[in-house]
Amino acid sequence: MRICYPCALVAMVIGGSLSDTVAQPYYYPLRQPDYYGPPPDSSAPGGYYRQPSPSYVTPPEPPAAIGAPAPAPAERWIAGLPAEDQPESNQSAELPPQFRRQLVAYASAEPAGTIIIDTPHTFLYLVLGQGKALRYGIGVGRNGFTWSGTERISRMSKWPDWNPPKEMIARQPYLPRFTAGGEGNPMGARALYLGNTEYRIHGTNQPSTIGHFVSSGCIRLTNEDVQDLYSRVILGTRVVVLPNSPPISASAESGIAR
């Protein structure tokens, strides 16, 4: 095969020139007004700046943000939950005095260990016997969703998942079909399931609803109170739910619980 030496020589010269061109760095003029990079490169002709390489450094946090505490879980928006089920920001707010957990005088024919739901007054009593009971403030079913009867605790769960029953979804189709247990779950820290019903005694992340008629029939306590109640009862505990009769007078009420 014949080789064209003149052509090869020309190609080598051109290739060498291109490689020199690629290897040569590009320099910005020394007095470029909008460049505030490193000091001039001493090896560059005339003290020019070398072309800066791209920087991917994340800008520093503003001083005010450094060390700032992360928001509490209750201050975060829980994806999938409607606005009315979002956790309240102040989980440590104190309840009104009458709804705080307390030992009270309570006359009842029910044996010790029984739970009594006083629907009209939004109280839950854990009967202790000898005329005493632990009283908790609760939230109960809103108008048209209260109920009465006797059940037994059929299941107990810590940080339960929430699966809204089909009846609730039919009324509120925007509800999530499932919410995993945790601090943002509307079921709260504990749940006591009542018989084969859809009703439960459970916690809540909305302490301001205690003392109100707000639920779809479930009985809600603060997370602190439901954990306390959970530690005091067992499977099979009898639960008596009183009907939502008109509230009795203050004088009569004082004879039931003080």
The pLDDT value recorded for residue 84 is: 58
Backbone angles phi, psi at 6, to 5 degrees: -60, -40
Q: Is 218 noted as a catalytic residue in this protein?
A: yes
CB 136 within 8 A of CB 208: no
Domains and CATH numbers, the chain: 5-48 (no CATH), 98-256 (2.40.440.10)
Rg of the chain over all Cα atoms, to the nearest angstrom: 36
pLDDT of 54: 42
Per-residue confidence (pLDDT) for residue 42, from 0 to 100: 54
The predicted structure's pLDDT at residue 170:
77
CB 127 within 8 A of CB 114: yes
pLDDT value for 250: 36
Query: What's the DSSP call for residue 79?
Result: T
Name, in order, each residue with C-beta under 8 angstroms of 154's C-beta and a sequence gap of 6 or more: 193, 194, 195, 196, 235
Two tokens, residue 112: 């010790």
Among 7, 121, 212, 218, the one annotated catalytic: 218
Question: What is the DSSP secondary structure assignment for residue 29, as one 8-state letter?
Answer: -
pLDDT confidence of residue 181? 64
Which pLDDT score, from 0 to 100, does residue 258 have?
A: 30
pTM: 0.62
Q: What is the mean pLDDT of each run of 10 residues along the chain (258 residues)?
A: 55 53 48 46 50 40 43 50 62 86 97 97 97 98 93 95 72 67 81 95 92 93 97 98 67 34
From the list 4, 7, 202, 212, the catalytic residue is 202
Non-local (6+) Cβ contacts of 57 within 8 A are none
Q: Measure the CA–CA gap between 117 and 218, rounded to whole angstroms.
A: 11
pLDDT at 237: 98
